[in-house]
Amino acid sequence: MPQRYFIENQNNTITGQDAHHIKKVMRMKTGDEIIVCSNGKCFLSSLNLEGEEVQYEVIKELKKHDQPEITLIQGLPKNPKSDSVIKYGTIFGASKIILAGMHRSITKLENEENKIKRFQMIAKEAAELAHRFEVPAIEMAKSLDKIDLSHYDVVLLADENEKSMTLENALPSIRKEMRIALIIGPEGGISDAERISLLSKKVIPVTLGYYILPTEIASLYILTYLSIKNI
């Protein structure tokens, strides 16, 4: 499978770190094929490295698999667990990832601009690895109250207190046009106050099984379920 690169604009030229990766790391040659992605579209392309610039010619557009818009709202965990959340949330199909400060978050929001830049790079590399068509948006929120949940058709809360509501019961069918949000608490889970507030907004608490999952991988259970149901 050809190497995949995400670029800002389709202008037949690749620059920066991606150009360095093509020429110095992968040691590609003119005629080698890559996949170039921009604005939610991906194209099989042929490289032209005869000049100083890394240029490419589009061969054909690749078909995209339609899927629901899935937003992962992750309670801010201790470092470096946020890196794992971004990497694997991307690989397992999240459309957007919001790192939110919650009552039991130990790490505090600071240096947000620098952190988002680093998270975006992690997401880009993960999206290339997973052969996605887009890199998920990365955001940070001071608290759950700062996130507008009315945007979503369904909001699921992974809740260790919930024993009967399964993912299958909460989402008996999934449509590609759906907007779904997943809320995962930090280490120690969500607080009682947060639970009461979320339930008042018609958020659906779901069980993830008998075992307590680490916060940095809990979302993968739900993302995998949604991916399989959408095949």
pLDDT at 50: 85
User: Which of 23, 44, 61 lies at the terminal end of a domain, its last residue?
Assistant: 61
Give the Å distances, CA to CA, from 7 to 15, 36, 95.
9, 7, 17
pLDDT in tens, the chain (231 residues): 899 999 988 889 999 999 999 999 999 999 999 999 999 999 999 999 988 899 999 999 999 988 899 999 999 999 899 999 999 999 999 999 999 999 999 887 788 889 999 999 999 999 999 999 999 999 999 999 999 999 999 999 999 999 999 999 999 888 889 999 999 999 999 999 999 999 999 999 999 998 999 999 999 999 999 988 765
Same domain, 33 and 146: no
9: containing domain: 3-61
Task: In the chain, count H helices and then E strands.
Answer: 6, 11
Q: 57 with 88, same domain? A: no
Contacts of 64 (CB under 8 A, 6+ apart): 40, 41, 42, 133
DSSP H or E stretch at residue 117: helix 112-130
Are 187 and 77 in contact by the 8 Å Cβ rule? The answer is yes
Query: Same domain, yes or no, for 102 and 16?
Result: no
- Looking at the fold, whether 222 and 165 belong to one and the same domain comes out as yes
Same domain? 87 vs 180: yes
User: What's the pTM value of the predicted model, to 2 decimals?
Assistant: 0.93
Same domain, 79 and 113: yes
166 shares its domain with 148: yes
pLDDT of residue 112: 85
Q: Which residue, of 20, 38, 61, is where some domain finishes?
A: 61
Domains contained in the chain, number: 2
Residue 52, pLDDT score = 83
DSSP of 125-146: HHHHHHT-SSPPEEEEESSGGG
- Do 27 and 86 share a domain, yes or no? no
